[in-house]
Amino acid sequence: MTIRCARCERESEGLTQAPLPTELGRRIQGSICPSCWQEWLRQQVILINEYRLNLIDRQARAALEGQMRQFLNLPDSDQP
What is the binding site for Zn ion (CB under 5 A)? 5, 7-8, 33, 36
- Give burial (CB, 10 Å; 0-12/13-18/19+) of 36: buried
Q: How far is the CB of 32 from Zn ion (least distance, A)?
A: 6
CB atoms closer than 10 angstroms to residue 43: 14
Closer by beta carbon to Zn ion, 22 or else 35: 35
Q: How far is the CB of 56 from Zn ion (least distance, A)?
A: 30
Which of 79, 34, 5, 30 shows the shortest CA–CA distance to 66? 79
Q: How far is the CB of 24 from Zn ion (least distance, A)?
A: 16
Closer by beta carbon to Zn ion, 1 or else 56: 1
Closer by beta carbon to Zn ion, 28 or else 36: 36
User: How far apart (Å, rounded) are the C-alpha atoms in residues 15 and 56?
Assistant: 26
